[in-house]
Amino acid sequence: MAVFVMLHVAAFAGAGLAFMLLSWLNLFDHPNERSSHASPVPRGAGLVLTPVLAMTVGGIGLYAPNPPASAVALAAIVGALGLVFWFDDRRGLPIWFRLAAQIAAIAAALYVMRDLGPFFGGMLPVWLDRALAGFLWLWFTNLFNFMDGIDGISGVETAVIGGGVGVVAALTGAVGGLSLIGVALVAAATGFLWWNWHPAKIFLGDVGSVSLGFLLGWLLLLLAAHGQWAAALILPLYYLADATLTLMRRIVRREKFWRAHRQHFYQRAARGRLGHAGVALAVGACGGVLILAAAVAAKGWNIPALVVAAIAVAALLHRLSRNAPVGW
């Protein structure tokens, strides 16, 4: 409990420090036709949150009993990735460079994790198992960045996935340090939410959202490598569904799907009757159901858990669609 409180306070204070620093540097996210905010907001809170989380993960890797073997290396990789995307927030980097940095980080992490068991239950050859894990990790890192589009949603989702990973690891005894990392993510996310809840005073920026997506993807792959593939799919299921369905819809409409937009289910609902806070609370409520479903899956009831999770996510998507502006 003391560690949770310390990290919560550190995240809260760090976000406040980032607010002052970014304001002084005049690094603001100015609203445009694709924005969900109406006035300039400092962007780049991940400049402080990413090092805090990296040091926490590294410390758990060094000192916690039975930590994930890759924790220390992952902490260094997260720090390096955050540095790259801090430059992206400041000056803007080409898409190819952003993608290359993520691929390099994932390749390095998978190399460090080479002694882990298969991610897909041994159903695939080793090379294909690793390649598919890398592709899904890359997709999740980017979709987490795509989904960081309204106040509060990334903090809520981080708390959901971190809390869910902690619960599943505690129930299964998969890796002791994994529970601690999950708790650390919940503490950091809730500390950041004091500043990011609507109306947000500060945004994560790519330095925060890309680093968080990468770190959460690592935790989900660790669950899968320890036989908890169903829980690893259930916990991020809302983000996976919203991002993937929106991408497919844009491809079918022959839109330039790689460009920023406001067509996600959550963005539509935030512009409609629910507003930013209402959407974030709905995502959190669905996340609570997903954590319970993941706990059920951890006990071996994979199919019922997946069915419950799918129903919960479908209900959330329906609610978000119903509260979108007319004609979407």
For residue 174, is it within any domain?
yes
pTM, rounded to two decimals: 0.93
Percent helix, strand, coil in the chain (nearest 5)?
70, 0, 25
For residue 265, is it within any domain?
no
Q: If residue 29 lies in a helix (H) or strand (E), which one and from where to where?
A: strand 28-29
For residue 244, is it within any domain?
no
For residue 7, is it within any domain?
yes
Q: What's the token pair of residue 258?
A: 């790689």
Give me the number of domains the chain comprises: 1
33 contacts: CB under 8 Å, gap ≥ 6: none
CA quadruple 45, 157, 231, 143: dihedral, nearest 10: -70
For residue 215, is it within any domain?
yes
CA–CA separation, 33 vs 38, rounded Å?
10
Give the Cβ contact number of residue 121 at 10 Å: 12
For residue 314, is it within any domain?
no
Note the pLDDT of residue 184: 93
Note the pLDDT of residue 176: 62
For residue 253, is it within any domain?
no
Q: Which domain holds residue 28?
A: 2-228
For residue 203, is it within any domain?
yes
Tens of pLDDT along the chain (328 residues)?
Answer: 677 888 899 999 999 999 898 888 888 776 665 556 557 888 888 988 999 999 999 998 888 777 887 899 999 999 999 999 999 988 889 999 999 999 999 999 999 998 888 898 888 899 999 999 999 999 999 999 989 989 999 999 999 999 999 999 989 876 667 888 999 999 999 999 999 999 999 999 999 999 999 999 999 999 999 889 999 999 999 999 999 999 888 888 777 666 666 778 899 999 888 899 999 999 999 999 999 999 999 999 999 999 999 999 999 999 999 887 755 4
Give the Cβ contact number of residue 279 at 10 Å: 29
Q: Give the angle subtended at the CA of 269 by the CAs of 267 and 272, to the nearest 5°.
A: 115
Q: Are 235 and 291 in contact (CB under 8 A)?
A: yes
Give the Cβ contact number of residue 5 at 10 Å: 11
Q: If residue 66 lies in a helix (H) or strand (E), which one and from where to where?
A: none
